[in-house]
Amino acid sequence: MKDYEALSKKHFDAQAAKYDARDTVYYSREGKISCRDIASQLSGLSYDALLDVGCGTGFLIDLLTKQQKARYVGLDLSTEMIREAEKKAIPGAEFISGTADSLPFPDNCFDIVTCSQSFHHYPYPEKAMAEAFRVLKPGGLYILSDTGLGGIGGWIDNHILFKLARSGDCHTTDRHGIARMMEKTGFSVEDSRQVQGLIYTVTGKKRNG
Ligand SMILES: C[S@@+](CC[C@H](N)C(=O)[O-])C[C@H]1O[C@@H](n2cnc3c(N)ncnc32)[C@H](O)[C@@H]1O
């Protein structure tokens, strides 16, 4: 298999310094839409600890710390994206580099796991989702927002375009595909919505026991 992680790291390390300021496709446009949707879904919800997987420059955690005090951890493959996140000096937030499919946390330690515009970069998506499930407390929420499509368009992306891309884009599906994967992993799907165009958000709850 192509080394999607190495491509993603190279791509985002190179984009990091300009990522927030360039509000366009391939930079932060979709991320900002997804992060704002996730933040609006979390407003009014109380939680103690939240992990943002593929946190990039910390845009989502920055929004959330303004809504609610909690322990916030952001994890990302790109050390340069992490460096940009750290520069923001967000109170109560910690940023670490790592990969979504091997999270350096014990079982059952977060109330919320979020993932914005990152999942389509994961070469082992089932493993990454199982890791989110493992680190969540029973009853915890996994909120995944991404851009993608199913059907023939998704097939063309997955089997042709992404094979040629150098940006680490790896696989796509629509919100129904994500919802099916969540159910298989052990989540109950609580919400699934089309946010804007091809951007969707799906929320799963870790079943108790
Ligand atoms: C499009 S950016 C989104 C950043 C941020 N979540 C946002 O919405 O603005 C995708 C992020 O996923 C990260 N990423 C890609 N593959 C990853 C992996 N396997 N594990 C962790 N992070 C990954 C990239 O480094 C990049 O920062």
- Residue 137: CATH number of its domain: 3.40.50.150
Neighbours of 114 (CB within 10 A): 31
Mutate which of 1, 7, 8, 63 for ligand 1 pocket (most atoms within 8 A of beta carbon)? 8
Which ligand 1 atom sits closest to the C-alpha of 55?
A: 6
58 has a pLDDT exceeding 70: yes
Ligand 1 near 203 CB (within 6 A): no
Least confident of 105-119, 166-180, 187-201: 166-180
Secondary structure percentages of the chain, helix, strand, coil, to 5:
40, 25, 35
pLDDT of residue 8: 93
17-31, 75-89, 187-201: least confident range: 17-31
- % of residues, the chain, pLDDT over 70: 99
Residue type for position 162: F
Q: What is the structure's pLDDT at 161?
A: 86
Count Cβ neighbours within 10 Å for each residue of 117-128 and write b for 16 or more, e otherwise.
Answer: bbbbbbbbbeeb
Average pLDDT of span 170-192: 96
Quick check: CB of 28 below 6 Å from ligand 1? yes
- 32: Cα within 13 Å, side-chain hemisphere: 11
pLDDT averaged over the chain?
A: 94
Higher pLDDT, 150 or 37: 37
Taking the centre of ligand 1 as the mean of its atom positions, its distance from the CA of residue 128, in whole angstroms, is: 12
Does residue 24 carry a pLDDT above 90?
A: no
Q: Is the CB of 78 under 6 A from ligand 1?
A: yes
Is the model's pLDDT at 203 over the cut of 90?
yes
- The tokens for 73 are 């951890």
Number of domains in the chain: 1
* Cα 166 from chain centroid (whole Å): 20
pLDDT at 36: 98
In the prediction, which pLDDT does 1 show? 60
Q: Name the residue with higher pLDDT: 163 or 51.
A: 51
Give residue 173 CA to ligand 1 midpoint distance, Å. 17
The yes-or-no verdict on residue 170 having pLDDT over 90 is no
Per-residue CA distances from 140 to 44, 108, 134, 191, 202 (Å): 15, 9, 10, 14, 14
Q: What is the pLDDT of residues 79-138, one digit of tens each?
A: 999 999 999 999 999 999 999 999 999 999 999 999 999 999 999 999 999 999 999 999
pLDDT of residue 180: 98
User: Considering the entire predicted model, what is its pTM?
Assistant: 0.96
Using CA atoms, how far apart are residues 49 and 26, in angstroms rounded to an integer? 30
Report whether residue 173 contacts ligand 1, using a CB cutoff of 6 Å: no
| Torsion of Cα atoms, 75 then 112 then 21 then 128, to 10° | 50
Decide: helix, strand or coil at residue 49: strand
Domain around 142: 4-206
Residue 209: its pLDDT value, please?
A: 65
Q: Indicate whether residue 114 lines ligand 1 (CB < 6 A).
A: no
**Pocket mutation for ligand 1, best pick of 35, 79, 113, 118 (most atoms within 8 Å of C-beta):** 118
Nearest one of 172, 107, 105, 118 to 144, comparing CA atoms: 118
